[in-house]
Amino acid sequence: MFSIPGKQAVSITDRAAAQISKLMDDKGHSGLRIGLKKGGCAGMEYTMEYVDESDPNDEVVEQDGARVLIAPMAQMFLFGTEIDYETSLLESGFKFNNPNVTDACGCGESINFKDVSELTAERASS
């Protein structure tokens, strides 16, 4: 939908690919869909759900056995994002290093993005 030929919509670190692949194998699903929803104190939140079938409009990124599907309405906002998986003493989870984020809440669960017209102009000039 908002793809650039020869360039993946998102990149996946080796740690994230290993975790996604493990989750897919453990749960018996064919992929992990990433999207966005309104919510949180900054305006938007990432969503993640297991899927067994891809939507024809999903952007599919596959790497080292991991299969990530990007929901159509989230593609413009996630383009250029690096998906990582971090483990610390207090928590473990996926981290989104997204160049399109302009603001985030203190807890890191909620984000706000650049204006849609600005994102569209950036994609057109790439």
| pLDDT 10s digits, 49-64 | 999 988 899 999 999 9
Contact 67, 20 (CB under 8 A): yes
Superfamily of domain 10-125: HesB-like domain (2.60.300.12)
pLDDT (0 to 100) of residue 118: 59
Q: CA 93, CA 19: separation in Å to the nearest integer?
A: 9
How far apart CA 45 and CA 43 sit, in angstroms, is: 7
Query: What average pLDDT does the segment 25-46 reach?
Result: 85
Distances (CA, A) of 90 to 22, 84, 87: 21, 17, 8
Does residue 3 register a pLDDT over 60? no
Over range 19-35, report the average pLDDT: 91
Residues 87-114 pLDDT 10s: 989 889 999 988 888 777 666 566 667 6
Helices marked H in the chain: 14-27, 75-78, 116-125
pTM above 0.85, yes or no: no
